[in-house]
Amino acid sequence: MVELDPVIHAAARLRITATLAAVPRGDRISFTRLQELLDMTAGNLSTHLRKLEDAGYVEVQKTHEGRTPATYLALSRLGRRAFEDYTTALKDLLGGES
- Domain CATH code at residue 70: 1.10.10.10
Residue 97 lies in a domain: no
Long-range contacts: 38-45, Cβ < 8 Å, 24+? 38/12, 40/12, 44/12, 45/12, 45/16
Residue 47 lies in a domain: yes
Average pLDDT score over the chain? 94
**pTM score:** 0.91
* Cβ neighbour number for residue 75 with a 10 Å cutoff: 24
The sign one gets for the Cα dihedral 16, 21, 24, 26 is positive
Residue 28 lies in a domain: yes
Provide the number of structural domains found in the chain.
1
- Report residue 38 CA to chain centroid gap: 11
Residue 42 lies in a domain: yes
CB 45 within 8 A of CB 37: no
Domain residues for the domain of 71 are 6-78
Residue 90 lies in a domain: no
Residue 85 lies in a domain: no
Residue 96: pLDDT over 80: no
| pLDDT for 90 | 93
| pLDDT for 95 | 87
Q: What is the pLDDT of residues 41-87, one digit of tens each?
A: 999 999 999 999 999 999 999 999 899 999 999 999 999 999 999 99
| pLDDT for 97 | 58
Residue 13 lies in a domain: yes
| pLDDT for 57 | 98
Residue 74 lies in a domain: yes
